[in-house]
Structure 1
Amino acid sequence: MNQQHGTMIRKTPLFLHQYRDVGCVTLVLVYVLIFVLGVFGNTTVIWIAGFKMKKTVNTICYLSLAISDLLFCSCLPFIIVTIVHKRWIFGLYMCKFVSFAGFMNMNSSIFLLVIISVDRCVMVAFPVWGQNNRTLKRVMIAVFLAWVTSTIISVTRLIVRDVTLSPREQVLKCGVRFSNSHTAIVVSRFVVGFVLPIVIISLCYSVIIIKVQTNRMTRCSKPFKVMTALIATFFISCLPYHVFTLTGIKFKGEIVQQGLKASVALVSLNSCLNPFLYAFMGRDFKNKCSSFLSRIENAFEDEEKS
């Protein structure tokens, strides 16, 4: 009995160790894939929207979205190396900056999607007013405000992130330094950076759907599909993260920690998907001879011609 019991004690840590190794390898492969696809796809979008196409309201929004995603993808090698070494080796400054860049990406993405949704809503509900008042200057101001707001919200990551010595592994870890204001920060970030934008986007969708149903002549099918795909992808990828961060306020178990790791990877995945959504939802998607670059450019043209 004692031998059996002892065997069980020895097997359990071995199983957990193997499980964690498999999880680490999987995370590394996922992050490497996101990095490669994200850098390639977002660089392509920046090149097309920034240098090959005429500056329009749509191209400015999607260019900003690609810059935000590329900024985050450039920080992924630090995360990959940390997973492999199972410790943080890049110092306090990079600990704060990588976290800041991740939250900047998430916040700026949702705020830019709000701008895109409001712009599409105005063009569908008030087409004449929209054509007369939808100027590059105004959209650039809106995009600038989105970046400023994202920066202000993300500054909290510079405050709460710290490099500490892990008591279990006795190695340096880059993590959150919990304080009395941690709950308030998490909840406010969830409300301002997720709930309110989703409510605004939902209202815009409601107006668009009602307008389309009452006016069959409204031309918004292709732009509406692109916008829907972008927003749905963001919502699906970011919701689990917010669920686990809110859950982590009260519970600190292993399930929550593993859930946070998986949800962060899911959020990261969103940063590489947008360029491929542009490509696959362009008007030449069914033409097998069309190139990846032309698909992205056609997606932007579809948006502008609507």
Structure 2
Amino acid sequence: MTVTGEPPKQSIGNPEEVVHYLNLLLCSLIFIVGITGNGIVIWFTGFRLKKTEFNMWFLNLALADFFFILWLPLRMVSLFLRHWPFGLVLCKGYYFLSTVNMYTSAFILMAVSIDRCIAMVYPLWHRNHRPKRLAQKVSQCLWVLTFAMSLPLAFYSTLKETKKNVLICSVDIYVASNVSDTQNSTSQRGRQMLANVLEVFLPIFICGFLIPLGVITFSYSVIAYRMKTRRLRFNNLYRLLAAAVLSFFITWMPSRILGIVQVIAIYSLRKEVLQHLQLYLPLASSIGYINSCINPILYVLLRKEFKDKLWALKESMLKRLRGIKDSSNVNSTERELSLSHTCPPSNHLHTVSLQGNRTVNIGSDINNSNQA
């Protein structure tokens, strides 16, 4: 997993070049859509909407996405320059926050699914005895947990100088150049490298993907069964949650599959496979980052309360703009009238337009008064 690799060979149709520019394009679109969408969701759920439990879940989800996307320009610049110019601290910070974002999204979606499952199975208890502000307290605990679980990525991420004297920010155990040495050395070094990969990849795969997938699948299976037996229909709330869950697992699936392939390749010391993974793993990570800009889009499309507030805000802004425009037109008319009264008499006819398409012939009025 590298933020940026060695400069690819400059040739039309070169797969490395295509992947490089596709990666840069993806990151740019994710930044534009994600920073805008999550910013709007944070502002509305934090300051405009009611502080419901569900809104608090999505507020924390948007915060995780927003703070990570703030760091995405580092990746974009490094892709554009084809090297990492920001130093070791920001390299570690980037990998740390990207892992925090991934864990937080998975854990919050898992917590929401459990909460909805309990509400469906034990509705009276959930309505009358559920602790107040539970979403806020659980979210705080999840933030602490994700920070702790993301520390290994900060430890392993480093700056590495390639053979072409290019500095790249990478998780060192993922760089394929390490494997060329491993193939010609003892199997003990290969086992050590595999242990390092598993130390980073296994927690991410099991805790950040496999366990949330299992818990969420079980929870929504129970919800679907209960709703079917009670002949209930899925409302927009459940559609929103289902869409958010699907987007998370679909976008992160390529990265997790390549991670499994990577473990197998290191175990069997397949250098050529690892060299290909070095090219495609960063792109798979960028596909995973798409999830950070999908959630606010889903929130806008499927949350009626949010759409109503957003529409009301738009109408309010349009009214203010119309008011400013009308006020400027009135002030302009008053200034023209004032200037025309202070000018010396003239035989020329001056016509000033007022509101309501009414006109005043100033010149003729002045001449008539002089003749009288």
Q: 2:310 aligns with which of 268, 289, 293?
A: 293
- Name the structure 1 match of 2:288: 267
Give yes or no for contact 2:19–2:283 (8 Å, CA) kept in 1. Answer: no
TM-score, normalization: structure 1?
Answer: 0.84
1:161 to 141, 157, 172: 157
Deviation at 1:133, TM superposition (A): 2.8
Q: 2:299 aligns with which of 272, 278, 303?
A: 278
Provide the residue aligned with 1:75 in structure 2.
71
Out of 221, 245, 249, the residue aligned to residue 259 of structure 2 is 245
Judged with a 3 Å threshold, the aligned counterparts in structure 2 of structure 1 residues 292 and 91 are, in CA distance, closer, same or farther, namely farther
2:136 aligned with 1:140, yes or no?
Answer: yes
Partner residue in 1 for 2:370: none
Q: Which residue does 2:348 correspond to in 1? A: none
Shift of 1:295: 10
Deviation at 1:26, TM superposition (A): 2.2
CA contact (8 A) 2:237 2:303 kept: no
Distance 1:59 1:294 in 2: 18
Aligned with residue 46 of structure 1, among 42, 46, 64: 42
Structure 2 stretches lacking a partner, 5+ long:
1-8, 174-192, 266-272, 314-372
Find the aligned partners of 2:305 and 2:51 in 1 and give their Cα distance. 22
Per mean C-alpha deviation after superposition, the further-off stretch among 235-244 and 179-188 is 179-188
Name the CA shift for 1:20/1:295 in 2 (closer, same or farther; >3 Å). farther
Check conservation: 1:244, 1:256, Cα contact below 8 A.
yes
Contact 2:16 2:279 in 1 (8 A): no
Q: Give the drift of 1:39.
A: 0.5
SS across alignment from 1:181: helix
CA distance in structure 1 between the aligned counterparts of 2:13 and 2:161, rounded to whole angstroms: 21
Considering only CA atoms, is the larger Rg found in Structure 1 or Structure 2?
2
1:193 aligns with 2:188: no
CA distance in 1, matches of 2:238, 2:312: 17
2:103 and 2:146 in contact (8 A); partners too: yes
Q: Is the 8 A contact 1:111 1:197 kept in 2?
A: yes
Q: Is the 8 A contact 1:248 1:256 kept in 2?
A: yes
User: Letter of the aligned partner of 2:208 in structure 1?
Assistant: G
Taking the aligned partners of 1:136 and 1:198, their CA distance within structure 2 comes to: 27
Q: Distance in 1 between matches of 2:301 and 2:229?
A: 29
Among 81, 86, 96, the alignment partner of 2:92 is: 96
CA shift in 2, pair 1:184/1:215, >3 Å: same
CA RMSD of aligned residues (A): 2.2
SS at match of 1:174: strand
**1:236-280 deviations in Å (ceiling 9; x for gaps):** 011111111221224343432233122111111110110111112
Alpha carbons of structure 1 residues 204 and 257: separation in structure 2 relative to 1, 3 Å:
same
Say if 1:226 and 1:281, in contact at 8 Å, map to a contact too. Answer: yes
The answer (yes or no) to whether the contact 1:233–1:270 under 8 Å persists in 2 is yes
- In structure 2, the partner of 1:214 is 229
Unpaired stretches in structure 1, ≥5 consecutive residues: 1-12, 297-306
Q: Residues 35 and 136 from structure 1, CA distance in 2 versus in 1: closer, same or farther, beyond 3 angstroms?
A: farther
Query: SS of the counterpart of 2:85?
Result: coil
Separation in structure 1 between the aligned mates of residue 245 and residue 210 of structure 2, nearest angstrom: 13
Q: Residue type of the partner of 1:228?
A: A
CA distance in 2, matches of 1:292, 1:253: 50
Q: TM-score with structure 2 length normalisation?
A: 0.70
CA change 1:295–1:65 in 2 (3 A) is: farther
Q: Given that residues 187 and 246 in structure 1 are in contact (C-alpha distance below 8 angstroms), is that contact kept between their aligned partners in structure 2? A: no
Alpha-carbon deviations, 1:78-136, whole Å to 9, x = none? 00001011111100000000011111000000000011111111111211111113344
Shift of 1:177: 2.2
Cα distance in 2 between the residues matched to 1:133 and 1:63: 24
* 2:125 paired with 1:129: yes
Match of 2:169, SS?
A: strand
Contact 1:278 1:295 in 2 (8 A): no
Q: Distance in 2 between matches of 1:87 and 1:200?
A: 40
Q: Residue 181 in 1 paired to residue 196 in 2?
A: yes
> Percent of aligned positions with the same letter in both sequences?
28
How much has 1:292 moved relative to structure 2? 8.6
Select 1:228's aligned residue among 219, 224, 242.
242
Tell me how far apart the structure 2 counterparts of residues 199 and 268 of structure 1 sit (CA, whole Å): 22
Distance 2:303 2:135 in 1: 23
2:163 corresponds to 1:149: no
1:70 CA displacement: 0.2
Partner of 2:219: 204
Task: Report how far residue 291 of structure 1 moved.
Answer: 7.1
